[in-house]
């Protein structure tokens, strides 16, 4: 009797088929149980939660699908407190139910910074120092002092503010500056098509103040750009140190600023700036 004599018996093949069937069933059962345990194929598209508060997300029932964790908060003056500004994973991502979603929200109050000592700095040094400390420049007030554009004092709400005083980021600081030993006049800078923050920065760097502001279309500063000024754009009139400049804004959604800039004299330095501004508008 040979070693493989059982290969010719029907009972062997019956048992072999039963073993294979049982093995396949067990394999299927294991894979199926793993699918149930890992929720294989049960995925969700992550919505865009930007602008929602955590309470609003819970009210909408999103916590049935995701686990929210707040990992950071940042302060935005223009955004509602407590609303989401960043999320991970990003909207549109495919995740399984119960996945952790990490949120960054708008802080309830601005972060704190310390007031730097600006006295005896030049205007440009003071502007850079304030900007690096995330503080805003308010009004430039010029007084009799031998050093032109040297900081004589630093004020907040018309009161002197001492160095190392704790302040909220974004606080406005007024600067008292020297006129110098002789009368100095400055030219009117070219402001057409600039946005509000750019206007404020450029005026201050030119020893001027921002005057009254008029929003001719709406108060949406996001799209507001300078349409006209008083004193007029390209005027040959010289201005006093600290003189206020009134600004009229129009929305770049309603006005073609690229075409508007082309009306200015192409032979002036301001016109070259205008052409650069056209490129900036196109890039946005």
What is the model's pLDDT at position 282?
47
Residue ranges of the chain assigned to CATH 3.30.10.20: 43-106, 110-182, 185-284
What is the model's pLDDT at position 118?
97
What is the model's pLDDT at position 177?
97
| Overall average pLDDT of the 227-239 stretch | 92
Among 3.10.20.30, 3.40.50.1820, 3.30.10.20, 3.40.50.2000, what is the CATH number of 110-182? Answer: 3.30.10.20
pLDDT, tens digit (0-9, with 9 covering 90-100), for 66-96: 999 998 888 777 788 899 999 999 988 888 8
Q: What angle do CA 260, 264, 268 make, to 5 degrees?
A: 145
The model's pTM is 0.64
36 or 124: whose pLDDT is higher? 124
Helices 196-205 and 123-132 sit at what angle, rounded to 10 degrees? 150
The CATH class given to the 43-106 domain equals: alpha beta
SS3 of residue 182 by DSSP: coil
Transcribe 242-279 into DSSP letters: T-EEEEEEEETTTS-HHHHHTTS-TTSHHHHHHHHHHH
pLDDT, tens digit (0-9, with 9 covering 90-100), for 184-231: 899 999 999 999 989 999 999 999 999 999 999 876 677 899 999 999
CA distance 137 to 126: 9
Q: Name the CATH topology of 185-284.
A: Trypsin Inhibitor V; Chain A (3.30.10)
């Amino acid at each position: 009797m040979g070693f493989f004599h059982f290969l010719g018996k029907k009972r062997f093949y019956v048992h072999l088929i039963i073993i294979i069937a049982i093995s396949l069933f067990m394999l299927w059962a294991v894979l199926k149980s793993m699918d149930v345990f890992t929720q294989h194929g049960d995925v969700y598209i992550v919505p865009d939660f930007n602008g929602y508060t955590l309470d609003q997300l819970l009210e909408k029932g999103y916590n049935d699908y995701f686990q929210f964790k707040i990992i950071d908060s940042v302060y935005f003056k223009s955004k509602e407190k407590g609303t989401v500004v960043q999320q991970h994973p990003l909207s549109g991502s495919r995740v399984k139910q119960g996945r952790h979603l990490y949120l960054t929200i708008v802080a309830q109050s601005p972060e704190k910074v310390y007031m730097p000592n600006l006295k005896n700095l030049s205007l440009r040094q003071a502007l850079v120092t304030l900007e690096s400390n995330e503080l805003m420049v308010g009004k430039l007030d010029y007084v009799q002092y031998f050093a032109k554009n040297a900081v004589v004092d630093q004020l907040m709400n018309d009161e002197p503010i001492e160095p190392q005083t704790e302040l909220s980021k974004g606080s406005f600081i007024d600067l008292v500056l020297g006129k110098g030993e002789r009368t100095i006049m400055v030219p009117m800078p070219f402001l057409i098509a600039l946005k509000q923050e750019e206007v404020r920065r450029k005026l201050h760097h030119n020893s001027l103040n921002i005057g009254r502001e008029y929003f001719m279309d709406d108060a949406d500063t996001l799209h507001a750009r300078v349409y006209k000024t008083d004193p007029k754009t390209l005027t040959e009139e010289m201005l006093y140190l600290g003189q206020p400049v009134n600004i009229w804004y129009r929305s770049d959604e309603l006005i073609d600023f690229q075409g508007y800039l082309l009306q200015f004299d192409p032979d002036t330095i301001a016109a070259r700036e205008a052409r650069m501004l056209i490129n900036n508008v196109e890039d946005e």
